[in-house]
Amino acid sequence: MSTKTFNFDTFSGTEMKSFLNIKLLKGDSASFDFTDSETELVTFEMGTVSAMAVSVTTQTKPKVVLGRSNPIGLATGVRSISGSLTYEVFNASVFEELKFYLTEQLADKDYEYVGFESGVVCKITDLDNFDSLPPFDLVITAVKENDQRRRMKKVIKNVVLVSNASAVGLNSLTVQENYEFIASDIVPFENHSIS
């Protein structure tokens, strides 16, 4: 009788990093048809993520017809993606670090972005609060601590932050910030291991 052996990898939160990818417009937005040559992808490593939760829900309603008391089936509708990110705060708020990077480090490049739903063109230097951030892709990467060839990646697309909260208490060792978000699409964790 032959014995089959399978190896599986699991990853802990300490092995994961989060990156934010923002597609920004270069130059004068009035002449843009938003081709790839007129945009630039800016990547920023986010702070220390201590927790992440994502849920995907689909509206489901019963199909009812006249003359029957029970539904004849189910109808599905809009798929919505939402979640929350919790960060440990060390030097400054995660948003303040990101704002500094976008407004100070990239100020000479005159970047602009288009709002997710509004379509309004804004200057990147006009960021004033977490909800004024342009839509971004959140990329979560995991690299095995004891085997650097073992890797995973998850992408949450068109993330828009909708709320922010922070807390500190007498028994807290660190300050935490929580951001809730909505998104347009999600790519589950995929194996990116190197053979």
Rounded CA separation 24/112 (Å): 6
Does residue 182 surpass a pLDDT of 90?
A: yes
* Domain residue limits at 169: 13-62+72-191
CATH number at residue 78: 2.30.110
> β-strands 111-114, 175-183: how paired?
unpaired
pTM, entire model:
0.75
Closest CA to 155 of 8, 6, 19: 19
Confidence at residue 176, expressed as pLDDT on a 0 to 100 scale: 85
Flag whether 1 is in a domain.
Answer: no
Domain count, the chain: 1
Flag whether 51 is in a domain.
Answer: yes
Non-local (6+) Cβ contacts of 115 within 8 A are 121, 122, 134, 135
Closest CA to 186 of 164, 144, 153, 163: 153
Closest CA to 80 of 14, 3, 162: 162
Report the percent of the chain where pLDDT is more than 90.
Answer: 9
Of the given ranges (4-18, 48-62, 98-112), which has the lowest mean pLDDT? 4-18
Flag whether 58 is in a domain.
Answer: yes
Non-local (6+) Cβ contacts of 161 within 8 A are 130, 131, 133, 179, 180, 181
Confidence at residue 11, expressed as pLDDT on a 0 to 100 scale: 62
> pLDDT tens digits, residue range 54-106?
999 988 888 898 988 898 988 888 889 999 988 888 777 888 888 787 777 77
The amino acid at 82: S
Q: 49-59 burial, b for 16+ CB within 10 Å, e for fewer?
A: beebebeeeee
Flag whether 46 is in a domain.
Answer: yes
The per-type count for the chain, helices as H runs and strands as E runs, is 1, 10
Flag whether 6 is in a domain.
Answer: no
Flag whether 67 is in a domain.
Answer: no
Placement of tokens 């990101």 in the chain: 98
Flag whether 3 is in a domain.
Answer: no
Flag whether 27 is in a domain.
Answer: yes
Does residue 30 surpass a pLDDT of 90?
A: no
